[in-house]
Structure 1
Amino acid sequence: MHAMQYEITLPADYDMEIIRRRVARKGHLLDEWPGLGFKAYLMRERGVRGSPVNQYAPFYLWNTLAGMNSFLWGGPFQGVADDFGRPSVRQWSGLAYEEGGAARSWARFAVRRSQPVPSDGLLSDVMATAVRETGRLAGEDGAVLAAAAVDTSRWELVHFSLWAHDTPKTDGDVFEVLHMSAPERDRPARSC
């Protein structure tokens, strides 16, 4: 399981309806992409739900590296690079994934919370804590799913969750979900 996200920060006066229309037009392109657990097409608007920026920031959970690589190297990612420039693509190794009680509901909001991996203590304890936190988030009312992943080049832990209502029960950056492609959502490992 591999997590991936890129962020395209847009000007403060950017018409975010352009992003909504783009996703409405192109979101279906990954609805059957091999190797993709899910892609949440995310957006946040400056001044809405505490966002300091206008941003398009899709989040992916890949079941296979082959699927991720075919997307990045010859797939729809080229359209993003052509239209917005080539963004930096963050990647994390997956640690845990859990479906929430609202798994069959439409995800309306997403929350991404990043934190440094503590420099002291056992790394196995960090992983166990991340797995427990994923389970806790998935157990909250309105949770569609929760995942945890780590970037070992920065020693950064990321918790990602999708919510069926507009009051997510966790802290972090809040995004509106415009569309979700989930061709292999039933296949991610529950924990690594």
Structure 2
Amino acid sequence: MHAMQYEMTLPADYDMSVIRARVARVGHLLDDWEGLGFKSYLVRERGRHGSEVNQYAPFYLWNTVEGMNRFLWGGAFQGLVDDFGRPAVLQWTGLAYAEGTASRAAFAVRRREPLPAGTELSALMAEAVGETERLAGADGAVLAAAAVDPHRWELVRFSLWEDDAPETAGEVFEVLHLSAPGRELIPRGRQW
């Protein structure tokens, strides 16, 4: 499992209906993308759910590196680059994945945090796995995942929620569309 995200922070007065229309127009194009676990088309709007910015920030879980690379290098990503410029693409190695019982994703929560030096890595990873399972077991949870960037030693916790934004730490996003052609293929539990 590989996690990936890019963020496009937009001007404070940006008309976010442009992003909503874009997702409505092209979101379905990844509904059957080979190698993709899921892509959540995410937005944050300034003044809503604690956001200070307007932002478009899709989050992906990939089942295969080949699927991810085909997306990035095979032309699909170029449309976004042509329209908005080339964003930095963040990537994390999968640690854990768990399914919740809710079915429709309306909100996402992402929490990125540095892994403190001097702490045993196996203990930090075990904690991340436990938190992933706890989040997925909460009322209204669709799924939860955790991944790490070992270059920056950064942990990302990601969860999808059915109804209103949950009371959990992190940045809250609205889910505009969910493409999930290989969600059932994402390995459950700890990823090592």
Superposition TM-score, scaled by structure 1 size = 0.97
The residue that corresponds to 1:52 in the other structure is 52
Task: Please tell me whether the aligned partners of residues 43 and 178 of structure 1 are also in contact (alpha carbons under 8 angstroms).
Answer: yes
Q: C-alpha distance in 2, partners of 1:75/1:34?
A: 15
Q: After superposition, what is the alpha-carbon deviation per residue over 1:71-107, rounded to whole angstroms, capped at 9, x for unaligned?
A: 00023210010000000000000000000021xx210
Output the CA distance in 2 between the equivalents of 1:146 and 1:169.
Answer: 15
Measured in 2, the distance between the counterparts of 1:161 and 1:132 equals 14
The secondary structure found in structure 2 opposite 1:131 is helix
Matched ranges for 1:22-41 at <5 A:
22-41=22-41
Partner of 2:177: 179
The aligned amino acid for 1:121 is: T
1:41-190 matches, cutoff 5 A: 41-102=41-102, 105-190=103-188
* 8 Å contact kept, 2:32–2:181: yes
Cα-to-partner distance string for 1:87-145 (whole Å, 9 max, x where unaligned): 0000000000000021xx21000000011112122211111110000000001100000
Aligned to 1:76, the other structure's residue is in SS state coil
Indicate the SS of the match to 1:186: helix
- Structure 1 distance, partners of 2:78, 2:14, is 22
Find the aligned partners of 2:117 and 2:100 in 1 and give their Cα distance: 31
Tell me what 2:6 maps to: 6
Letter paired with 1:81: V
Deviation at 1:70, TM superposition (A): 0.1
Letter in 2 for 1:10: L
Alpha-carbon separation, structure 2, partners of 1:110 and 1:140 = 14
**TM-score scaled by structure 2?**
0.97
Q: Is the 8 A contact 2:106 2:161 kept in 1?
A: yes
Aligned length, in residue pairs: 190
Q: Displacement of 1:169 after TM fit?
A: 3.5
Distance 1:19 1:90 in 2: 20
CA deviations 1:45-92 (Å, max 9, x no partner) are: 011111010000000000000000000002321001000000000000
* AA in 1 matched with 2:4: M
How far apart are 1:43 and its partner, in Å? 0.3
